[in-house]
Amino acid sequence: MNFDELDKKMRVYEESLDQVLLPELYMVARLDGNRFTRLTKEVCKFEAPFDIRFRDMMVETVKALMNYGFRVIYGFTESDEISLLFHPEEDTFGRKVRKYNSLLAGVASATFSGLSGQPGIFDCRMVPLPTIERVQDYFQWRQEDAHRNSLNSHCYWMLRKQGKSVGEATKMLEGQSVAFKNELLFQNGINYDKLPSWQKRGMGVYWATYEKQGFNPVTGKAEIAERRALKVDEEIPVGEAYSEFIANLLRV
C-alpha cells in the first residue's frame, strides 16, 4: 500500500469523531482554569478573594486568545474563567470543534503559564447558540455567576481572616440569601456595593477604534489614521444595557 492510499485510509479514523459547528449558529468558547484553587492559593499564594496580579494575568490571557488568529470580537473574564464571542462569520478550520478546543486551551495555558511562572492549565468547550437572544442570555448568565461567586467569596474569606475554619465559614454561609451576605459584609465594615466593579461583575475586552496621528512620506503631510486595538473595560454594563452591548458587537 503506497503512502497516499494509507493516508486516505487512516484519515477516515482520525476524523471519525470530528464535530462541526453549523454555519448559522453563533459561537462562544468557554475556558476554565483546571485545578486553579491549588495554583492560586498554595503555589502562587495570590491574595484572597481577589488579587490584581491574577486579574491582570487573566486579562493578558484573554488578549492573547483574541490576537491568536480567530475572529473573536469579545472576551469576558471572571475568576479563572474566560468566555469568547466569535464573529458570526468565523469559519477557521471549517468550524471544527476539536480545533477550537485544542488551540484555545493551548494558547490560554501557554500564556498564563508564562505570565505566572507556574503551569496553569485551561480546558475549553465550544457553546453553539442559535440566536442573538441566546448569546445575550449566555453573557448575562456568566455575569450573574460572577456576581454570586464574588459575594460568596468576599463573605467566605472575611470569615476565614477572622479565624473561622473552612468548615465553620462554609456552614455559616450555606443556604443564606444575598441580603444576608450583604448585611454580613456591611456589619464587618465592607460595603459590597462600593467594591470595584470588576470584582463583582467581571471584565470585558473588545476591539475599539482610535485615531493616531501619522506622517505620509508621499505627500509630506501629517495625517490622521484609524487603528484598532483591544480595550480592557473594568466597568462593563449590567442588565439590559449589557444585553444591548452584546447585540451591538454582533451587528458587524
Residue 117: phi, psi to the nearest 5? 80, 10
Taking a C-beta distance cutoff of 8 angstroms, is the pair 49, 150 a contact? yes
> What's the pLDDT score for residue 103?
98
Q: Is residue 124 part of a domain?
A: yes
In the predicted model, residues of the chain with pLDDT beneath 50 are none
Q: For 56-69, give one letter per residue: b (16+ CB within 10 A) or e.
A: ebbbbbbebbbeee
Angstrom distance (rounded) from CA 231 to CA 208: 6
pLDDT in tens, 147-185: 999 999 999 999 999 999 999 999 999 999 999 999 999
Residue 145: phi, psi to the nearest 5? -60, -40
Q: Is residue 232 part of a domain?
A: no
Range of the domain at 43: 13-144+195-201
> What's the pLDDT score for residue 8?
85
The 3-state DSSP class for residue 115 equals helix
> What's the pLDDT score for residue 224?
75
Owner of C-alpha cell 454594563: 237
Task: Give the side-chain half-sphere CA count within 13 A for 237.
Answer: 12
List Cβ neighbours of 179 (8 Å cut-off, separation of 6 or more). Answer: none
Angstrom distance (rounded) from CA 188 to CA 120: 34
Q: Is residue 138 part of a domain?
A: yes
User: Structural domain tally of the chain?
Assistant: 1
Angstrom distance (rounded) from CA 7 to CA 4: 5
Q: Is residue 23 part of a domain?
A: yes
Q: Is residue 98 part of a domain?
A: yes
> What's the pLDDT score for residue 226?
77
> What's the pLDDT score for residue 9?
84
Angstrom distance (rounded) from CA 239 to CA 136: 10
> What's the pLDDT score for residue 88?
95
Query: Residue 56's domain is classified under what CATH number?
Result: 3.30.70.3000
> What's the pLDDT score for residue 213?
73
> What's the pLDDT score for residue 138?
98
List the grid coordinates of 241.
444595557
